[in-house]
Structure 1
Amino acid sequence: MKKIIKWLVVSVCLGILPVTCLNSGGAVKEDKQIKIGVTVYQMEDPFISTIPAHIEKFAKNKEFSENKRIIVNIMDAMGSQNLQNDQVNQFIEQNYDVICVNMVDRTAASVIIDHAKANDVPIVFFNREPVEEDMQRWDKLYYVCSLANESGVLEGGIVVESYRKNPKRWDKNGDDKLQYVILEGEQGHQDSLIRTESTIKTITEAGIKVEKLESETANWQRAQAGVVMSQWLNKYGDRIEMVLSNNDNMALGAIDTFREMECENLPLIVGIDAIAPALEAIKDGTLMGTVLNDAKGQAEAIFNLAYALSTGGKTVENPPDLKQRYIWIPHRTVTKENVDEIENAIAL
């Protein structure tokens, strides 16, 4: 018995055992079992980690309503593409019905695709879009996310609205332009490149003059952004009038640095994702606004699609809106005016 308990503990720690949803009666017919594998690039990412959590909840709800055993096995690739390839292979060897993949390296999907195709296991990619050539390799490949351009437009819109309401507050030196820095996500990530471009374009097309002081990659990470922001503050000080960030986590890292350096008059800071700490920052006024990158909506679309594929394409309550095997979930602007409403809408 001691050996069995020890094995169970080790298995859970290593992520070997699947997350299994059981119905309220505790008994589910094995012939109705559905197995869905999920692998994410890094569970330390506060936005990415919310997607599988929502997928699990949708799976539990579906299991209760349909009296089907649904196994959702979530694995963390920890930033290693080789590890993620092994995880996908494990799902295939264990006869999973469908595999949901948040790529570590979006340009390296061909290995996963070829193995899945050879074993006729559909793949639902999410958040990190494989290159178009890879998506065309097979007709059982799908992608769920939100349009990066749309998030940049909305982020820029927050800046435009805030500046127009009180230009003197943000244009501290009175030169009729905003001196800004920008914290960028992972190099080569499509969302990082597109968000940067569309945010700046939205601001300038609204007639607001800007001057770029610096830009730097912080890889979506709060701590890295804090270090970069510290360097910029030592170099530019009060000249920084606006901080643009490709995601909330980096925006929060910038705010951390302003607090540590006891800066009272913060610049205009905006982000993207609407993670929980960012919503709190909006409430306390340190973050001017963010853009809801709807993890709950994406998770629902991912699960509904995976469920439909696992059951032979049977109808689900909220059928996926597929357009050439892509599902796009809309963004929403989040400011102090609607932060409570958004917080309630996306809660687990």
Structure 2
Amino acid sequence: MTPAPPQRRICQNCSKVFLQPARPGRPSTMCSERCKRAARHKGLTLPDLSMPEADMDEAAEDLNRTVSDFLAAVQHRSPSAHLLHHITALNRMLTDAEAAVVRRGRVQGDTWNTLAAPAGLSPERLRKKWTEDSLARRLDNRRAAREHGTVPRQPLCPATQTPGQHLAGALSFLQRKTGRTLKEIAADSDISASHISRILSGQRLPSWPIVERFARTCAGDLDELRDLWEAAQRPPDPEARARPPAPHHRRDAELRFHTALRALYLAADCPGYGAISRATGSALGVSEIARALSGAEVPDWYTTTRLVFALHGRPADLRPLWHAAYQPTPPSDPEPRLPADAFG
């Protein structure tokens, strides 16, 4: 009879993968006698989770990027075959993320019972699904894909920020742009320097009169700051913080939409258009970004989604405004239309 091949396991002391020869009895949890002694000396010291948590972070970043692409594709009404391509990638990345989470749980000592309950599986089924060998193979393949550029190393879209952080970021940028100290701005705006400091750090949400006085002192745009301030007043629950209804007239909706975009741009420290393009993974060109932020046009939803994500915003918050403001470009006629009298 051919002997069973050795299995790959994770050392509970150093977190390295080692080969466990097939033999009866309880499998070893340490890769060497040295690790066994070290583990005994550590006592209650927590295991090294740096590698498992790095895997988990990267898997979540890849998943976030792909979900963002899928959302943009759905709302752009892309072909079904294109959407299924996104779903296939999402399923693969979800499995990668599950492997990373299970690996972290096992390294830190979670039992199969603990991990199986939220997954809706029996402990035995989860254990058979994620043997040490299958975990190592899955995560090794994911690391190799990132190493060879198959998967981007960074998330395509930066993490979103809260409305309060947007407001604080915009006010901080205006203060830095003046080149003046907090005391000087405090004196001119009749606000205490300590109060301004707490506002700029995000520790305190200011009233509108305070924002207005600060903006006049620092030459800020009141419409842009009002948009950020109103967003910061809404409930923190994403489902309850929707904007007020969009204006009925398209021109009014356009103005509000561009104000909201410029407000996010201000909150992001007014980065260069090239930097924004790179933040979208070059999905958007500099000219597209310039037209959107200058108010020259209302871009399509795909462009809007990528731009808002690059500015650390949440596209869903702008969806009603965009829908009211956007007017698709009509297809050009292949042949010029002639007046009726041209035919005699």
Bucket of the pairwise TM-score, normalised by the shorter protein: under 0.3
Which one has more relative contact order, counting CA pairs under 8 Å at least 6 apart?
1
TM-score, L = length of structure 1: 0.27
Q: As a proportion of its length, which structure holds more helix? A: 2
Q: As a proportion of its length, which structure holds more strand? A: 1
TM-score, L = length of structure 2: 0.27
